[in-house]
A and B are shown apart, each in its own frame.
Chain A
Amino acid sequence: MNTIVSEPLAERECPDAPQAGLKSSVFAELYTEHSRAIYYLCLRLLSDPEKAEDATHDVFLKAFRKMHQFRGESSWRTWLYRIAINHCRNLQAAWHDRHMLSNADDAVWENTAATTDSPLRVLETKELGERIQKALDGLPPEYRLLLLLVADEQLSYEQVGALTEQSADAVRGKLHRARKTFAVLFQQTA
């Protein structure tokens, strides 16, 4: 059995055309290296483990079909994230997501005394995922996506900006409010 190499795929040259044995090999490594990030994004965007599982499957199936079109203009990670974001958006549009907050709700968080500079403390890490999900569900969709992408250390602000169709400076600017809003909502889940 071949060894899964530890060099990040994102930093490797991608195949610009399918070659014998390479396509399947790269896909296996692609799944091994990025499935956790893609599943986590789908899970937190869709708020449902079963839907996240379906979405992750569909994202990688799309990737499998489209791998030969990947030209290395972005990293594999970014490419997969783009597929996942579009897929989740399509699903959410179809479900008429009822939990979205309008921008008008931002004022609520702006006027709330949130201490984003202080550490976020949790007494019980077992329920952390549930609390995070509740807090994320209360965020405007743009903030939710920004926080999830910025939390991935493999992505730069420029890459997050490209994925969310805005400049890196705009990402930085919105992050402050996103963090503050999240902190308020997270405290409410205690």
Chain B
Amino acid sequence: MKRQTKLTQQEQEQLAAAQQQTQSSSPREFASVEEMLRHDALHTPVPPTIAHRLEESTSQLPPPPGRAWWRRFFGG
């Protein structure tokens, strides 16, 4: 059975950043392919331009009721 994680993406990023500081360029050993892929995913940043592009794209759609998600997301 696969282990279910309770970490949010934000928490995972913080954890990855902390791990990266301790690892830097030291040799690394992975117990499985999946572990390697998880490590890689955590260290692969999402381009911030995607969120900005989504902001533009969704602004051209009929506005959802309430506060726009991107304003909430970016604190605007």
Which A residues have a C-beta under 8 Å from some C-beta of B? 1-2, 4, 6, 8, 18-25, 27-28, 31-37, 39-40, 43, 49, 53, 56-57, 60-61, 64-65, 116, 119-126, 128-129, 132, 147-148, 150-157, 178-179, 182-183, 186
Tally of A-B Cβ pairs under 8 angstroms: 158
Q: Do A122 and B28 contact each other (CB < 8 Å), given the known contacts A18-B64, A23-B66, A31-B54?
A: yes
Partner of B69, one of A20, A25, A61, A120: A25
B1-39 CB contact bits vs A (8 Å, 1 = yes)?
A: 111111011111100000000010111111111111111
Given contacts A20-B66, A33-B8, 4 further A-B contacts (CB under 8 A): A21-B65, A31-B73, A35-B50, A57-B53
Which 4 A-B pairs have CB atoms at the shortest separation, nearest pair first?
A21-B66, A151-B37, A24-B69, A28-B69
Which B residues have a C-beta under 8 Å from some C-beta of A? 1-6, 8-13, 23, 25-44, 46-47, 49-51, 53-54, 57-58, 61, 64-70, 72-73, 75
Find chain A residues with CB under 8 A from B1 CB.
156
Q: Do A37 and B73 contact each other (CB < 8 Å), given the known contacts A8-B6, A61-B57?
A: no
A-side binding surface: helix, strand, loop or mixed?
helix
